[in-house]
Structure 1
């Protein structure tokens, strides 16, 4: 199914109503339509902001301060225990209430929802790559996939795993929200870029790939 369809090749024509990647559902439904989508699209502002700040703080501690995980975990635990101990002693001395530590309970449904959402997206991307690698898709898609993976591998040499993970999480926290807010503008620009890329692939297919000599096709013997 093509991403966009149009009868004119003009760059200045008005972009069709068709949404990016040919989707029919809104971006909230594409992301699962639950709590995960609410967080990624900043429908739940407090949780989204807390997640973004927490990720930024962890990146700062690991990359700038150069903590490792074990050291950071021990230092945080030591500091928390020391604060609770001092608070408890002071509360006994001044007849204050003891510190109340909130119970943290992970909801099983939320964990399953997050896991199922990422599993579905990963499975979709993996199946697409397998079809391209097996030659079941257009040859131009195979070349585009190889070039894209090579570019990502080159970019990966300049980033540590923590930096790359931080960029991925930052993108998940910002790109869906920005797309949801400026959907029409993004669809219009993506429409023009995709049409230009399709023309380049078509020209490459006509001028290069179709000129590669191919041997005669041998008919399979029937027994």
Structure 2
């Protein structure tokens, strides 16, 4: 029995080592060919190969998230904070806000159009406001593509081909469901908004210190997953999914 358990522990340790170093083994063959490139290649969070600015698209949105333009970034975060305070802390309602805004707007426009009574001149012309069609169609098209992509990813995960990804998604939804019991959607949206405006810029500034810690955490997670797979998942009977034609 002791010998059997010893062999089992040795095989488990071998699997852990293979799991951790499996990704690096594919690049070991090319290490002799391009040593200078591989020396410069270090671990990056989420396996990124591009700068943080390019990961976020490299456009104006990336400039805002990474505080390239501090005035715009601060204004965006300030507006979001004001909206959260207005609706969450002061318990203001959206319909009330819209009605009050329309009342003020109509009153200002009415006085503006009747300004001839006060200034004895022709009243200024009220500007015409209309929503252009092209941006709305572009937004709808992009939204449709993203929804279709998300549905396709969920369908691929539900097919059961990648158990690791399936468990990760289930765990993510479970964590979100717990967070949803702590706060409402507006507060959750505001927290995500603040994180998007703080976490990327902090990571970009201290990425050389964060990446080594992330590498150690990734190795530890892989070890625990191999142990979990060996002791639990490997004992679960799973059949192959086959397409049935009716």
1:177 aligns with 2:190: no
In 2, are the aligned partners of 1:62 and 1:68 still within 8 Å (CA)? yes
Structure ranking higher on relative contact order (CA contacts 8 Å, 6+ apart): 2
Moved over 4 A (4+): 2-7, 79-90, 92-95, 101-109, 118-128, 213-217
In 1, are the aligned partners of 2:66 and 2:197 still within 8 Å (CA)? yes
Q: CA RMSD in A?
A: 4.0
List gaps (5 residues or longer) in structure 1. Answer: 8-15, 218-223
Give the corresponding residue for 1:11. Answer: none
1:43 aligns with 2:43: no
- Bigger proportion of residues as helix: 2
In 1, are the aligned partners of 2:45 and 2:211 still within 8 Å (CA)? yes
1:25 aligns with 2:50: yes
Q: Which has the larger radius of gyration?
A: 2
In 1, are the aligned partners of 2:43 and 2:212 still within 8 Å (CA)? no
1:186 aligns with 2:210: yes
Shift in Å, 1:71: 0.8
Q: 1:122 to 1:45 in 2, by over 3 A?
A: farther
Give the corresponding residue for 2:94. Answer: 69
In 1, are the aligned partners of 2:67 and 2:73 still within 8 Å (CA)? yes
In 1, are the aligned partners of 2:65 and 2:196 still within 8 Å (CA)? yes
Shift in Å, 1:140: 2.9
Specify the SS of the correspondent of 2:182.
coil
- The number of residues matched between the two structures is 202
TM-score of the two chains, using structure 2 as the length reference: 0.63
Give the corresponding residue for 2:231. Answer: 207
Shift in Å, 1:177: 1.6
List gaps (5 residues or longer) in structure 2. Answer: 1-19, 26-40, 241-246
Q: 1:149 to 1:208 in 2, by over 3 A?
A: same
Shift in Å, 1:87: 9.5
